[in-house]
Structure 1
């Protein structure tokens, strides 16, 4: 994780209070409030995958699917998490640039 700029930015956004983590909280936030990026674990369940991809498409939210539940959790200081919503445009812009640099 040390050299992964996306995960480092995710950790900073979490510490700044600019993320929503966990399935129920993320779903509620995606439906009702501003969200800029959805980080969805590669190894999340099929039902979660379908639901969150549908929501992100409806709301035109970028999705990042490069990390496992453990990698996302580690960036947040947790054991694991499957869904993280980024709620800050500045962090979202920086994260989008970091993802583009990886491709």
Structure 2
């Protein structure tokens, strides 16, 4: 697992405009089936975790929960617990870096 490179990739996706941030925007993109990957902070609240995990599972969108809120926030420059990556290329690369 290469968390540092994966976090750098998240920052790049943010700057490229290939990401939505925040619970509501991410849920909207999950429902529209435009999210290629959902990243949920490992320290998010139980209700948030359940809501995001259930929606991701229902719409068969991969979900990673290996980063803390602080790590996600530092990578994208905004305090967020949930992000959705919209681009397949970025999503695939982040998954490769984390899952090996």
> Normalised by the size of structure 2, how large is the TM-score?
0.92
Does 2:57 match 1:57? yes
* Partners of 2:34 and 2:74 in 1: CA distance: 25
Query: Aligned partners of 2:68 and 2:49: how far apart in 1?
Result: 13
Provide the TM-score with structure 1 as the length reference. 0.90
Cα RMSD, aligned residues only? 1.1
Higher relative contact order (CA 8 A, sep 6+): 2
User: Unpaired segments of 5 or more residues in structure 1?
Assistant: none
- Would you say how many aligned residue pairs link Structure 1 and Structure 2? 98
Q: Which residue of 2 aligns with 1:31?
A: 31
- The aligned counterpart of 1:99 is 98
4+ residue segments displaced more than 6 Å: none
Is there any run of 5+ residues in structure 2 with no aligned partner, and where? none
The within-5 A match list for 1:1-103 is 4-78=4-78, 80-101=79-100
Residue deviations 1:50-78 (CA, integer Å, cap 9, x gap): 00000000111111111111110110012
Cα separation, partners in 2 of 1:25 and 1:48, compared to 1, 3 Å: same
